[in-house]
Structure 1
Amino acid sequence: MSILNIMWAGGTAFASVQKVHQQILSHADKSVSVHTWLLQGRAIRNDCLTEQPVEWDLSSARLKGRHLWKLLMPWMRARFQKALPEDLQVVLLDGIGVARVLLPVLKRLPHVRAVVIFHGTTRLRSVDKKLIAQFPASQLTLTAVSQTLAGTLECYLQRSVAVLRSAFDPAVFRAAALPREQARTRLGLSVSDSPVLGAVGRLVDGKGFACLLESFASVSADKPDARLVIIGEGRAREALEARIEQLGLQGRVSLPGHLPEAATLYRAFDWVAIPSSEEGLGLILQEAVMAGVPVLTSDLAVFREQLGDAGWYAPVDDPVAWGELMERAFATSCDAVVETQSRVLAPEQAWDDFKQTTERLFSCR
């Protein structure tokens, strides 16, 4: 038996998606062969992949059938079908983009079960609904990484969507986390008790880091020893660096870039901020709380789903509200807050639920 894991692309921008897929695959039977395809780009050394993938290196225009590439779509799908393992039983598809390309191929293989994993909000088309409707539930399983996302998809697709709330083994994750002093040293921070606010994510507009800078600037005026660290890389780096200079935050805000060991560094922070405008789940929330660090988040349904009344929320893209939330956080003992957030998040139970759900994905029909 073989399992095929098909990803849209590799690289740091897709690190969280890779984490989810690898967590799912970790629950497959050890005797099963696992293969990975990357449709776009190349794998890099720090990708969260357990084996060397097949790199198709296809352009977005080709995969989406734009312009003249539409005429070659049947030929491309024939290549995919020819490359499938002979003993293939289950295929994991990374979101609707990959599903649009591969589901027509799998339609001809009724003995193969497809699992589409939705990681975040996406623009579904009427043709997507029609494509999915062609498959019986025995051949196609739809999953989403949160109840919030699953509910939205079910309303549009009129089809059951399983909740596969991504989770990590809490014991393993905590064991890998560096102590506070070591983590701060790794990030070039003072090991003193100066408050440090952390953030992790791609440097893109949807992550809300511009708002975070504005609010931090107002708070740090009265708390000059406070520091902000945003771990990640992306196309918004230049704009964020310019804003840091305009706000006079040099030396108080650092952008260390993408760090493959970021998941081990949370204890360098007193709080972690997640000011995203939208999220499918938000793995950073889980990672921070498991590491013993409380979180401040945007007031999104997906965050309330996980933290309920234990969450500390601010409206999306509201620097004034975020500044007030930061002031409260810096004046509050974080130990009691993270204890409450951890109890509500219940990472051990989430891990057990995740294991049971993923094991069902690989069980025989």
Structure 2
Amino acid sequence: MSILNIMWAGGSAFASVQKVHQQILSHAICHGPINTWLLQGGAQEGESVREWNLSSAQLKGRHLWKLLAPLMRARFHKALPEDVEIVLLDGVGVARVMLPVLKRTPQVRAVVVFHGATRLRKADRKLVDQFPASHLTLAAVSQTLAHSLEHYLQRPVAVLRSAFDPVAFRAAALSREQARSRLDLPLEGSPVLGAVGRLVDGKGFGCLLEAFAGVLAHQPQARLVIVGEGPARSTLEARIQELGLQGKVSLPGHLPEAATLYRAFDWVAIPSTEEGLGLILQEAVMAGVPVLTSELAVFREQLADAGWYAPSDDVQAWAHLMERAFAASSGEVLEAQSRALAPEQAWKDFSETSQRLFSCR
């Protein structure tokens, strides 16, 4: 028996989702192969996946494509591996496409993993209701997200809080000197605030720039590094110019090895306006770097009173939080955040839940 992993797309924009699926499937107990489909393509070189290269209009049934949806579903159904027992679906978008296909295969069990907040429709609830619990499992990457989904869908949602093997993660991390050299940062004398994520409005990097500009009056040697790529790059670059932050803020782009570079930073900022979980929080704390985060329930779920929080999009609050951080003992903060996160226990829980959800008969 085999497992089929179906994702919306590949590429750097979907790297965090890919990482979560890889972690989940690394615990699958199944004697057959694990196949992967990318509905919109975007596989990395060397990956063994099937790329369907379909457009968003096709997948969402827009305009004339709505009439051709039955034909597309027939193609998917014909392409299903004969021995597939479990299908892992990447969020509600993929579920909308594939669950109508899987209604015709009652021997297959589907697991939909929700990675972040999404706008559900009445049609989504109707679609989910067509499947008995034995054939469809809903899972979310945090308790906060699971509660929200359960309230709307009126159906149990398993908590599959994404986590990493802390031993392997720390072993792969570069030293402070190596990481700072990779990012072209001075080894000493400059407090460095780091941020990692797609350059999109929801990550709050515009607010972070404004707040950082205010902090420089008291911390002229401070530096800010935002690792990631996305459509907001030109807007952020223009704001850096307007605020006179050249030489103080760097945008090195998408770095495949970003998860190894956290020790270059003294603190990591996560100013998101919404998150399903926020893997950056886990990665930073495991690497030995304390975090500053938005006041979001999903972050409190992980750090409780050990977190250092500011309301999202509140420039003054973020500036004050940075000033406190640069004046504080980061070691004490890190120790408290590590205890709250409990990465070893989180990894054990994640591993056991993944095995339970993805074990073939």
TM-score, normalization: structure 2? 0.99
Q: Deviations over 1:321-340 (max 9, x none)?
A: 00000000000111110110
Q: Secondary structure at the match of 1:357?
A: helix
Q: Deviations over 1:108-167 (max 9, x none)?
A: 111100000000000111010000000000000000000000000000000000000000
Whether 1:55 aligns to 2:51 is yes
Residue among 106, 111, 118 paired with 1:110: 106
CA distance in 2, matches of 1:354, 1:137: 21
CA distance in 2, matches of 1:245, 1:230: 15
Q: Tell me how far 1:221 sits from its aligned partner.
A: 1.7
- Contact 2:2-2:30 within 8 A present in 1 as well: no
Aligned to 2:70: 74
CA distance in 1, matches of 2:290, 2:360: 40
Pair 44,363 (structure 1): closer, same or farther in 2 beyond 3 Å? closer
My pick for the range that moved more, 30-39 or 125-134, is 30-39
CA distance in 2, matches of 1:364, 1:85: 15
Give the count of matched residue pairs. Answer: 361
- Contact 1:231-1:257 within 8 A present in 2 as well: yes
Aligned to 2:137: 141
CA distance in 2, matches of 1:95, 1:42: 17
Structure 1 vs Structure 2 CA RMSD: 1.0
Aligned to 1:85: 81
Same amino acid, percent of matched pairs: 77
Alignment of 1:216-255 (within 5 A): 216-255=212-251
Residue identity in the other structure for 2:213: A
- Contact 1:35-1:51 within 8 A present in 2 as well: no
CA distance in 2, matches of 1:264, 1:337: 21
CA distance in 1, matches of 2:101, 2:180: 49
Aligned to 1:4: 4
Residue among 149, 153, 173 paired with 2:149: 153
CA distance in 1, matches of 2:267, 2:32: 41
Q: Deviations over 1:155-207 (max 9, x none)?
A: 00000000000000000000000000000000000111310000000000000
Q: Tell me how far 1:41 sits from its aligned partner.
A: 3.0
- Contact 1:216-1:323 within 8 A present in 2 as well: yes
* Gaps in structure 1 of 5+ consecutive residues: none
Q: Tell me how far 1:30 sits from its aligned partner.
A: 6.4
CA distance in 2, matches of 1:58, 1:152: 30
CA distance in 2, matches of 1:86, 1:30: 15
Residue identity in the other structure for 1:141: T
Residue among 303, 324, 331 paired with 1:328: 324
Q: Deviations over 1:204-229 (max 9, x none)?
A: 00000000000000001221110000
Whether 1:42 aligns to 2:42 is yes
Q: Secondary structure at the match of 1:40?
A: coil
CA distance in 2, matches of 1:334, 1:277: 24
My pick for the range that moved more, 32-41 or 152-161, is 32-41
Residue among 292, 298, 301 paired with 2:297: 301
Aligned to 1:360: 356
Q: Deviations over 1:268-324 (max 9, x none)?
A: 000000000000000000000000000000000000000000000000100100000
Runs (4+) of structure 1 exceeding 3 A deviation are none
Aligned to 1:187: 183
Residue among 202, 208, 216 paired with 2:198: 202
* Gaps in structure 2 of 5+ consecutive residues: none
Whether 1:23 aligns to 2:19 is no
Bigger relative contact order, structure 1 or 2 (CA pairs below 8 A, ≥6 apart): 2
- Contact 2:207-2:314 within 8 A present in 1 as well: yes
Residue among 276, 279, 294 paired with 1:280: 276
Q: Secondary structure at the match of 1:230?
A: strand
Q: Deviations over 1:225-251 (max 9, x none)?
A: 100000000000001001001101000
Q: Tell me how far 1:364 sits from its aligned partner.
A: 4.8
Aligned to 1:310: 306
